[in-house]
Amino acid sequence: GIRSQLSMQEQRESLPVFDKREELLKQVQENDIVVVVGETGSGKTTQITQYLAEEGYGNKGIIACTQPRRVAATSVAKRVAEEVGCKVGDEVGYTIRFEDVTSDRTIIKYMTDGMLQVEALSDPDMKRYSVIMLDEAHERTVATDVLFALLKDAVKRRKGSLKLIVTSATLDSAKFSKYFFDCPVFHIKGRTFPVKIFYTKRPELDYIESTIDTVIDVHVNNPKGDILVFLTGRDEIDTCCETIIEKMSVLYKSDPKMAELIVLPIYSALPSEMQSRIFEPTPEGKRKVVLATNIAETSITIDGIYYVVDPGFVKVNAYNAKLGMDSLIVQPVSRAQADQRSGRAGRTGPGVCFRLYTKNAYLNEMSANTVPEIQRQNLSNTILMLKAMGISDVLNFGFMDPPEEDTILSALDELYILDALDVDGNLTKTGKYMTSFPMEPKLTKTLIKSIEFNCSYEVIIIIAMLSVPDVFYRPKEKKERADKMKSKFNDYNGDHLTLLNVYLKWEDSNFSKSWCQDHFIHEKSLKRARDVKRQLLSIVENLDRKERRLDSSVRSCKGNYDLIRKTFVSGFFKNTAKRASNHGHKDEEGSYRTLVENIPVYMHPSSSLFKKHGVDYVLYHTLVLTNKEYMHCITKIDPKWL
Ligand code: ADP
Ligand code: MG
């Protein structure tokens, strides 16, 4: 395409934000807070930081730009480093959980909003920074919402030496401006072309199948232009990619003149070489289809997309009031999201969007906007942070859209039971210790308990394995073989120990790549687990040093794995369940009831305990709601430990 023939500089100057450069810099100079609204792809994320650096803001501190997603932070940092002409980690770097690619020279730093929130704990005034850009504010993640309130105050205290830019694709600018002391709103108009929208006549029974059919139909029957498909997660994307490739190979055979369809996935667990492939221009005469999670909705922009296929679903982490805890659920997108998705088709020329739902669903069933995360998630981590910052009255914290009082109270309750807060709601010693770890309180509590139970070495490995995307993969054509290999790692007491086995065996293989391939294991996930493990070990060691503990807290249980299971009960007692009585019938479903709330939950077939006898009491790591509430990562426990 034309774009690929332009030099990097010409590309930069062709972005809509470029025409607004001087005006924007003037606004930032004259105001401590500016809200910037601009269409996706107009150059907000990659350009504004560079303009600020060119203007000298980097001499007074770091220019930070937050992203709700890890992939966005890393991919944008790589792109900007390329534009600046430096290595990632030099002038341009990124920081995400368990990975810091910055140096003393870094003046433009992309980071997840979660990481900046953690920094606020030790430095509420954000002294290291001259400008903070809270990007993708329309996503309304918990961390961004918390930062809204914290930075609003920090800007006031810094008296002009800290600038705040709140950036977003679509947002209620009047509401934002009002919240930020009536600050100015700056608009960047994108160049967009009309997008023709098609709906299905009837609701689709199987959206995966109709997605695949639509993609192939577009390829076979429509003029050139790349395709972007929105799916909910990695498994779905991998399955779709495999099926499309299979179906295409049949078509190539029957019609040798058929143009090639390049099939590319994009999700956060994908190796980064694969991630960058989606940005490569499509060779002449071929077509590309990118199958993405909602990362491609607004955080990253792929040029050359003319067709969008939108089944209308998204996976979110939501607080489940019935269960009293968070679970991952797949839900319909909001109208605002649907519009963002179709908009992706109109950046290079007039486009087409296939919505795999009815027009009636769009108009009458979908909610207008996405509910801010803070109003649907468990807040124990957030409340712990606020408490650690000395904010005692969390019920009256200045959120833009405050969560329900009940959500805050239940978070306070959880923290009290985990021994992080005392009866008066003040931070305990345990609670203070907990804030040193970048994890949810349940896991931190488990880690602390493991020190007492002398099994912290193994527990740290398991926590690391739980913090990374699923390590096992099952290619469609080799499912049986993959399952057989996986069963070799199975521990008869459950999945937590199975994960430990995988890691230790990988270590035995000397971290071998071919070992991963032979055992159907994602090497990238294991490598990340190794990084997480190292980081957790170093946090524990630093704390030991600080507290002048003479012997190390990190000890191995030397094969006494019951200690490990017992340890997990201390953090996850809320996630325990008892087998449901089934009146002498064979239990085909693996049905259980949670011990605390007596809610029906089911054992997921991927568990090594599935259909095993004598598993009466279990602990699980997460619940995933599909057609039923499924427990994932399950371990057998002894009721005596409760
Ligand atoms: P916004 O934040 O306004 O949505 P971005 O700054 O992310 O816009 O993107 C501006 C342009 O930069 C995009 O249209 C795209 O062409 C280009 N771009 C962004 N990231 C990459 C990348 N990793 N590789 C190639 N081009 C990219
Ligand atoms: Mg952006």
Q: How far apart are CA 89 and CA 105, in angstroms?
A: 8
> ipTM score of the complex?
0.98
pLDDT per position as a tens digit, 387-426? 999 998 999 999 999 998 988 998 999 899 999 999 999 9
Q: How far apart are CA 503 and CA 527, in angstroms?
A: 10
pLDDT-derived band of residue 319, with 50, 70 and 90 as boundaries? low
Q: 264 vs 239, 244, 320, 354, CA distance in Å?
A: 12, 11, 34, 19
Give the strand order in the sheet containing 129-134: 99-101, 92-96, 108-112, 62-67, 129-134, 163-168, 33-38, 185-188
Residue 2 has pLDDT above 80, yes or no: no
Residue 584 has pLDDT above 60, yes or no: no
pLDDT value of residue 369 = 85
Ligand 1 atom nearest residue 167's Cα: 2
pLDDT-derived band of residue 468, with 50, 70 and 90 as boundaries? confident
Rg of the chain in Å (alpha carbons) = 25
Own/partner pairs, 261-264, CB within 8 angstroms, 24+ separation: 261/219, 261/286, 261/287, 261/288, 261/289, 262/286, 262/287, 262/288, 262/289, 263/289, 263/291, 264/288, 264/289, 264/290, 264/291
Residue 54 has pLDDT above 90, yes or no: yes
Give the whole-number percent of the chain exceeding pLDDT 90: 72
pLDDT per position as a tens digit, 263-272? 999 988 787 7
Residue 1 has pLDDT above 70, yes or no: no
Half-sphere exposure of 19 (CA within 13 A, CB side): 10
8 A C-beta contact, residue 337 and residue 343:
no
Q: Cβ(377) to ligand 1 under 6 A?
A: no
Name every residue whose Cβ is closer than 8 Å to that of residue 569 and which is 6 or more positions away in sequence.
576, 619, 637, 641, 642
Q: Cβ(40) to ligand 1 under 6 A?
A: yes
pTM, whole model, 2 decimals? 0.83
Of 272, 607, 570, 577, residue with least CA distance to 470: 607
pLDDT value of residue 351 = 96
Ligand 1 atom nearest residue 40's Cα: 4
Residue 322 has pLDDT above 80, yes or no: no
Partners of 617 in the β-ladder? 578
- Which tokens belong to 56? 């000298």
Q: Cβ(43) to ligand 1 under 6 A?
A: yes
Half-sphere exposure of 263 (CA within 13 A, CB side): 17
Residue written as token pair 């774009």: 3
- Which tokens belong to 248? 């295409």
Q: Cβ(75) to ligand 1 under 6 A?
A: yes
Residue 456 has pLDDT above 90, yes or no: yes
pLDDT value of residue 8 = 87
8 A C-beta contact, residue 302 and residue 278:
yes
Q: Cβ(20) to ligand 1 under 6 A?
A: no
Q: Cβ(79) to ligand 1 under 6 A?
A: yes
Query: Using CB atoms within 10 A of its CB, is residue 107 exposed (0-12), middle (13-18) or buried (19+)?
Result: buried
Query: Using CB atoms within 10 A of its CB, is residue 360 exposed (0-12), middle (13-18) or buried (19+)?
Result: exposed
| Phi, psi at 441, each rounded to 5° | -55, -35
Residue 582 has pLDDT above 70, yes or no: no
Residue 505 has pLDDT above 80, yes or no: yes
Q: How far apart are CA 119 and CA 126, in angstroms?
A: 8
Mean pLDDT of 278-287: 93
pLDDT per position as a tens digit, 73-94? 999 999 999 999 999 999 999 9
pLDDT value of residue 168 = 85
pLDDT value of residue 326 = 61
pLDDT-derived band of residue 554, with 50, 70 and 90 as boundaries? very high
Give the strand order in the sheet containing 195-198: 195-198, 351-355, 305-310, 226-230, 287-292, 261-266
pLDDT-derived band of residue 325, with 50, 70 and 90 as boundaries? low
Q: Return the minimum-mean-pLDDT range out of 84-93, 103-112, 172-181.
A: 172-181
Mean pLDDT of 465-485: 88
Q: Cβ(279) to ligand 1 under 6 A?
A: yes
pLDDT value of residue 386 = 93
Residue 449 has pLDDT above 90, yes or no: yes
Mean pLDDT, the chain, whole residue set: 91
DSSP secondary structure code for residue 460 in this structure: H
Own/partner pairs, 528-532, CB within 8 angstroms, 24+ separation: 528/98, 528/467, 528/468, 528/469, 529/461, 529/464, 529/465, 529/467, 529/468, 529/471, 529/503, 530/464, 531/98, 531/99, 532/98, 532/463, 532/464, 532/467, 532/468
Q: How far apart are CA 520 and CA 471, in angstroms?
A: 8
Name every residue whose Cβ is closer than 8 Å to that of residue 255 and which is 6 or more positions away in sequence.
none
8 A C-beta contact, residue 340 and residue 298:
yes
DSSP secondary structure code for residue 365 in this structure: I
3-state SS class at 254: helix
Centroid of ligand 2 to alpha carbon of 47 (angstroms): 10
Name every residue whose Cβ is closer than 8 Å to that of residue 400 and which is 6 or more positions away in sequence.
145, 148, 149, 175, 179, 372
Residue 546 has pLDDT above 90, yes or no: no
Centroid of ligand 1 to alpha carbon of 75 (angstroms): 10
Name every residue whose Cβ is closer than 8 Å to that of residue 552 and which is 6 or more positions away in sequence.
541, 544
Higher pLDDT, 513 or 372: 513
Give the whole-number percent of the chain exceeding pLDDT 70: 96
Q: Cβ(387) to ligand 1 under 6 A?
A: no
Report the length, in residues, of the chain: 642
How do strand 617-625 and strand 629-636 relate by DSSP bridges? antiparallel
Centroid of ligand 2 to alpha carbon of 74 (angstroms): 13
pLDDT value of residue 324 = 52
Q: Cβ(304) to ligand 1 under 6 A?
A: no
User: Which residue's alpha carbon is at the smallest distance from atom 23 of ligand 1?
Assistant: 79
pLDDT-derived band of residue 111, with 50, 70 and 90 as boundaries? very high
8 A C-beta contact, residue 598 and residue 322:
no
pLDDT value of residue 483 = 92
Name every residue whose Cβ is closer than 8 Å to that of residue 581 and which is 6 or more positions away in sequence.
none
Q: Return the minimum-mean-pLDDT range out of 269-273, 317-321, 353-357.
A: 317-321
pLDDT value of residue 567 = 97
Centroid of ligand 1 to alpha carbon of 243 (angstroms): 30
User: Which residue's alpha carbon is at the smallest distance from atom 5 of ligand 1?
Assistant: 43
Centroid of ligand 2 to alpha carbon of 76 (angstroms): 9
pLDDT per position as a tens digit, 200-215? 999 888 899 999 999 9
Handedness of CA 179, 180, 181, 182 (dihedral sign): negative
